[in-house]
Structure 1
Amino acid sequence: MTTDAPHQPAEHEPGTPPHDAPLVLVTGATGYIGGRLVPALLDAGLRVRALARRADRLDGRPWRHAVEVVEGDVQEPDSLDAALRDVEVAYYLIHTMGGGKDFGDRDRTGARHFAAAAERAGVSRIVYLGGMHPAAEELSPHMASRREVAEILLDGAVPTIVLRAAVILGSGSASFEVMRYLAERLPVMVAPRWVHNRIQPIAVRDVLHYLVGAARVEGAADRTLDVGGPDVLTFADLIQAYARAAGLPRRRLRTVPVLTPRLASHWIGLVTPVPRSIAGPLVESLVHEAVAADSAVRSVIPDPEHGLIGVDRAIALALERIRESEVATTWHSATPAGAPSAPLPEDPEWSGGVTRRDERSRHVDAEPAAVWAVIEGIGGSNGWYSWRLGWVARGLMDRVVGGPGLRRGRRHPHRLTVGEAVDWWRVERLDPGRLLRLRAEMRLPGRAWLELAVDAADGGGSVLRQRAVYHPRGIVGDLYWWAVWPFHGVVFGGMQRNIARAAEEAEEAGSTGQDAVSAPTG
C-alpha cells in the first residue's frame, strides 16, 4: 500500500470510505483496541470489514453503518475464507484472557488457522498487536503465548508487522483500570517489589496511530516493532501520576518480597472490580520490565504530527473524557464521547471508574409543558421541591467549608440559560421542554450532576425522569456517597413527588406557564 491517503471521490456516503478504497479486516472488533481501531481506519479513508463470532455484538456501534460485518471464528478455519476475501491488510487482535489451562493451545491454533487463510486469500499484510517483553527472560504463560502467536504469524507466508506495546493508557484498558482502582481506593497499599520494574506506557491514541500506519507503509513487513510513549517509569510511579491527575494525595506504597503474581491477582480481585481472569495475566506481565528495545518504529511509521503523548497528559485525557461522558448518555441522547481515550458503551462494566447513580422515573397526570415549567423554575426562591431543612442544612455546611451554598439563587425566577448559576449548581445542558442538567459546584470529594427530563407518556400525561450522578474522588468520595445514601429517598424521592404534584396542580388550575411554579411542598 502507499503512504498517501487514497483518493476519495465525491460519490460516496458521508462517513463511509469510497468503494475503491483498500479493504482491511479487523478481528477482535468487539474488544478494547479493535472497537477503537475501526473508526480510526475509517477516518484514514480505508474500507473496513469486521470479524465477530456473533454479528449482533456489533449492533449499536456508531460506526456499524460504515463497515461490513462477517461472522467467523479463528478456531473454525472454514469460516475465515469469506472474511478474508479481497482483503488487503488483516489485523489480528485476538488473545485469550483466562479461559482455562488450554488457552495457549487455542491461541496457537487460531493463529495458524488465520495465517493459512490469509495466504489462501492473497492478503498483502497481517498486522498483530502483542505485548512488549525482554528478549532473554522466561515469560509468564500469557506473555509467552503472545510471543508464540507473533512467531507463528511472522513464520507464515503473508508478510507481517508485529507491534509490541506495554501498558496502554486509556479508559477501558485493563492496565489503566487496575491502576485507577488501586490509586482511588487505597491511600496505602502493599505491593510486590516488581512494581518498581521499569515500563514504557503508551497512550491509546498513539497505539491506534501506529496500527493505522502499519497498514500503509511499504517494504517493512516481517518485522517486530516496539511502540512506547516518551516516558519510562515504574508502575509505582504510574500510580502516583494517576493520583496527581485525579487530585488525590500521594499514595503510600509498601513493598514486600512474598507477594507472588498469583497472590497479587487475588488481592487486586478483592479491591477492584476487574475480574481475576483479567488481573492475573496483567499482574504476570508486570513481573518483567517492558521498555522498547529500540526506536526502529520511527523509521517505518513516523510519530504523530504533534508528537507522542506523555504519561501525565495521557492520564489527564482519559480522566477528562471519562468526566465528560459520565452523564453524556441521557434519555434523549446516546452519543459516545468519541475519543479513543474515552470509555465507550462496549467497554466492560468494570471499566470507566466508579460512578454512583440514583435514577427515578414517575408518571405525571399533566402534560409535558406543565412539568417542564416546574423543572425550569427550580431553585432560588422557588426552592427544590424537597426536604427544605435538608437543603438548607447542606447549604450552610457548604458555606462553612468555602462553597457557594444556597446564597447565589438564580438570575430569573422562571427561565434558565446554559452556564448560569442556580444556588450551588451550574446549568450544564438545557434542551427546552425536555432536559435540564445541573453540575454541582458545592464542595464535594468528587463530581456530581442532577438531571431532570420529561417526555410525553403513551396514553396521556408525562413521564418525569430524574437522575443524580456522582463520581467519587478516592475512598473519601465513596464514604461520602454512602453516608448520604440513606437520605436519597427523602431528598430525591420527595423532589420527584413534589415536582409532579406542582405540575398537576398547575394544569388543573389551567396554567402551564410561569404560574405553574409554586412553593415547594415537603
Structure 2
Amino acid sequence: MDCVVFGATGYLGMRLVPALLSEGHRVRLLARDPSKLDDVPWRDQVEVSQGDVSDADSVRKALEGQQVLYYLVHSMMRPDFVQFDHDAACTVAEAAKAADLSRIVYVGGIIPEGQELSDHLASREEVGKLLRQSGVPTVELRAAAIIGAGSASFEMLRYLTDRLPLMVTPRWLRTCVQPIAIRDVLYYLVKSADLPAEVNRPFDIGGPDHFTYTEMIRKYAEIARLPKRLAIPVPVLSPWLSSQWVNVVTPLPRALAVSLMESLENDVVCADHDIADYIPDPDGGLTRYREAVELALSHVRDGDVHTRWWRAEAEDAPSRPLPTDPDWAGGSLYDDVRECHIAADSATAWRAVETAAVESEWSGVPWGWSLRGWLDRKSRGGTSPDAGKNRRSLEHRELHDGESLDRWLVERVEGPRFLRLRAEVRLPGRLWLELSVRPDDDGGSVLRQRAVFQPYGLAGQAFWNGLAPARKAFLAGIARDVSAIARTLADRGAELTPHGK
C-alpha cells in the first residue's frame, strides 16, 4: 500500500515509518527539512517530498498517487497553534479529497464529555472533525498520555518525578489519566490503514490501566527505584501557575509545558473500547503501565545516553529515545567523554586497560571514593571472605561479563576493544565507566573514556555537578594509569596477562 506521512520527523512519525516499512508498505514523507532524515537507517527505503502542511502546492504534490495519509501534525510549540492547525487541516482535507485518497489516519486526544476543553484538546478535536468532513474516510485515534521516551507527556512525568521528592497536588493532579504505550499506538496506526471504507469516526485508545496523575507519578517513582514521593494537597494552583515552576524544574520548552499542563484539567479516560470491533488487541494484550515505563527507562538503566540508530531494529526501539528526538528527551543521564593518545599498539593498550581495571586503584580517584567503598563494605557486614580472590582468579585469562573487581562490576567486555564497568559503591545514582581502544594512524592507539551517571533525583544531580573537579581528576588519572601500564608492557616486550602490572 502507498502511504504518505505528514509529521514524519516528529516523535510519532520517526517511529511509525519503520513500522510501516516492516509491514511491506511503500512510504513517502513530507518534511520541511529533509536533511533531518539523512542519517536514519531507512532513508533509502522512502521517498521524501520537501514542503509544509501550510503550503497547498507542496501538500498536493506529496499526496499524488498515494492511498493512505498519516496526519501526525500538531504545532504546540507555536503561540498561534490553534489557528495554524485549523488552517493546515483545511488545506490537507481539501487536497486529500482531490487526490482521491482511500484513508486518512490521524492521532488526536481523548475528549472528555461535559468538560471545558483546554486549547490543546479543543484544537485536536477540531482537526479531527475537519479531516472526517473531508469526504475521505478518516480514523481518528484519540490517546491520552503516550508512554515512551521522547513523548512530551512522558518526559514531563519523568522530570517531575525525578526532580521533585515533595509535590504539591492541586486539583489538576487528581484528574484521571489512561496512558498507552507507544508500541500499542504504533500497532493501532499500522492496522488502521486496512480498515474498511465505511469507517469514518474517532476511536479512544488506551492501555489497560487508569489512575490519577498523582498515582502515575508515584508508580513511576516505584518503577524507577526512586524514594517514595510525598504529596501535599493544596486547594488552589492553576495549571498556568503550575506550568511556570514546571518550566523551571524540567527542560521542556515553556510553550509545550503550558499546553500540557492546561490539558491536565481534563479527565482523559477512554469512554469505550469499541476499536476492538475493528482492530483486535495485539497478541499478549495491551501493554500495562509498569511494562511501558520499564521499556521507556531501559536505555537509562543501560547507561545509554545517546541512542544509536542500530537500536531501531530492537523490539523495544519505539520506547527508547531516538537521535532525532529533542534535546530534552531521554531523561537526566549525564556523560563525560574524553580521549587520549597512547604510545603503544592497540593490543598492548588493551592489555593495559584490563590490567588497570583488575587493579582498580585509579590514581585520580575522587577523594571520597575509598571511604565510600569502606563504608559500603562495613554496612554489608564487613569485608567479604572472598575479598582478594577476584584478582587471583583473573590471572592467566581475560575479563568476562559479570566479573566483580573490588568496587566495580564488569557489565560488558568486548576484547580487545571495549570494557564497560558499573560502580558498586553507594551513590545517589548509578555510575558507569567505559574504556575503549582503537588503533591510531601513527602505530599507537587512542583510549576513549566515558563516564555515565544516572542521578537519583536532585541529590544525584547535585552530586554529579558538585564533583566536577574530582570527576575531571578521576578521568585524567585513568588515562595516566593506562598509559603508564602500556609503556611498561611495551618496554618489556613481554606477553603479559590481564594481571600483568
TM-score by length of 1: 0.89
Q: Distance in 2 between matches of 1:216 and 1:55?
A: 28
Give the 3 Å change call, closer, same or farther, for CA 144–126 of structure 1 in structure 2.
same
1:197 aligns with 2:175: yes
User: Which residue of structure 2 aligns with residue 12 of structure 1?
Assistant: none
Shift in Å at residue 420 of structure 1?
2.0
| Contact 1:325–1:342 under 8 Å retained in 2 | no
Task: Spell out the pairing of 1:119-518 with structure 2 (5 A cutoff).
Answer: 119-324=97-302, 326=304, 335=311, 339-381=317-359, 383-384=361-362, 386-387=364-365, 392-402=370-380, 407=388, 409-410=390-391, 411-413=393-395, 415-511=398-494, 513-514=495-496
Give per-residue Cα distances to partners, 1:301-358, cap 9 Å, x unaligned: 111111111222221222224423626758xx96456521111111111111111212
- The amino acid that maps onto 2:451 is A
Give the 3 Å change call, closer, same or farther, for CA 494–307 of structure 1 in structure 2.
same
Q: Distance in 2 between matches of 1:382 and 1:151?
A: 64
* Secondary structure of 1:340 counterpart: helix
Q: Distance in 1 between matches of 2:3 and 2:251?
A: 35
Give the 3 Å change call, closer, same or farther, for CA 329–301 of structure 1 in structure 2.
closer
User: Which residue of structure 1 aligns with residue 48 of structure 2?
Assistant: 69
Shift in Å at residue 381 of structure 1?
4.3
* Secondary structure of 2:319 counterpart: coil
Q: Distance in 2 between matches of 1:408 and 1:177?
A: 44
- The amino acid that maps onto 2:38 is D
Give the 3 Å change call, closer, same or farther, for CA 388–87 of structure 1 in structure 2.
closer
* Secondary structure of 1:378 counterpart: helix
Q: Which moved more, 1:440-449 or 1:109-118?
A: 440-449
Give the 3 Å change call, closer, same or farther, for CA 122–432 of structure 1 in structure 2.
same
* Secondary structure of 1:409 counterpart: helix
User: Which residue of structure 2 aligns with residue 18 of structure 1?
Assistant: none
User: Which residue of structure 2 aligns with residue 4 of structure 1?
Assistant: none
| Contact 1:95–1:107 under 8 Å retained in 2 | yes
- The amino acid that maps onto 2:427 is L
- The amino acid that maps onto 1:44 is E
User: Which residue of structure 1 aligns with residue 29 of structure 2?
Assistant: 50
Shift in Å at residue 415 of structure 1?
1.8
Give the 3 Å change call, closer, same or farther, for CA 223–503 of structure 1 in structure 2.
same
- The amino acid that maps onto 1:447 is R
Q: Distance in 2 between matches of 1:334 and 1:510?
A: 39
Q: Which moved more, 1:477-486 or 1:436-445?
A: 477-486
1:91 aligns with 2:70: yes
* Secondary structure of 2:338 counterpart: strand
| Contact 1:359–1:466 under 8 Å retained in 2 | yes
* Secondary structure of 1:417 counterpart: coil
| Contact 1:180–1:353 under 8 Å retained in 2 | yes
Q: Which moved more, 1:102-111 or 1:471-480?
A: 471-480
Backbone CA RMSD of aligned residues: 2.4
* Secondary structure of 1:134 counterpart: coil
Give the 3 Å change call, closer, same or farther, for CA 508–44 of structure 1 in structure 2.
same
Give the 3 Å change call, closer, same or farther, for CA 109–433 of structure 1 in structure 2.
same
- The amino acid that maps onto 2:496 is Q
Give per-residue Cα distances to partners, 1:440-471, cap 9 Å, x unaligned: 33333322211001112234422111011111
- The amino acid that maps onto 2:118 is S
Q: Distance in 1 between matches of 2:250 and 2:93?
A: 37
* Secondary structure of 2:318 counterpart: coil
* Secondary structure of 2:425 counterpart: coil
| Contact 1:246–1:473 under 8 Å retained in 2 | no
Shift in Å at residue 287 of structure 1?
0.5
Q: Distance in 1 between matches of 2:102 and 2:431?
A: 51
Shift in Å at residue 115 of structure 1?
1.4
Give the 3 Å change call, closer, same or farther, for CA 109–452 of structure 1 in structure 2.
same
* Secondary structure of 1:145 counterpart: helix
Alignment coverage as a number of residue pairs: 494
Q: Distance in 2 between matches of 1:157 and 1:211?
A: 20
Give the 3 Å change call, closer, same or farther, for CA 251–516 of structure 1 in structure 2.
closer
Q: Which moved more, 1:411-420 or 1:389-398?
A: 389-398
Give the 3 Å change call, closer, same or farther, for CA 375–220 of structure 1 in structure 2.
farther
Give the 3 Å change call, closer, same or farther, for CA 310–388 of structure 1 in structure 2.
closer
* Secondary structure of 1:443 counterpart: coil
Shift in Å at residue 391 of structure 1?
5.2
* Secondary structure of 2:377 counterpart: helix
| Contact 1:161–1:220 under 8 Å retained in 2 | no
Shift in Å at residue 407 of structure 1?
4.9
Q: Distance in 1 between matches of 2:443 and 2:310?
A: 25
Q: Distance in 1 between matches of 2:149 and 2:257?
A: 16
TM-score by length of 2: 0.92
Give the 3 Å change call, closer, same or farther, for CA 192–339 of structure 1 in structure 2.
same
Q: Distance in 2 between matches of 1:343 and 1:355?
A: 12
* Secondary structure of 1:128 counterpart: strand
Give the 3 Å change call, closer, same or farther, for CA 429–383 of structure 1 in structure 2.
same
Give per-residue Cα distances to partners, 1:128-187, cap 9 Å, x unaligned: 000112133332222211111111101102111111001111111111111111111111
Q: Distance in 2 between matches of 1:334 and 1:384?
A: 33
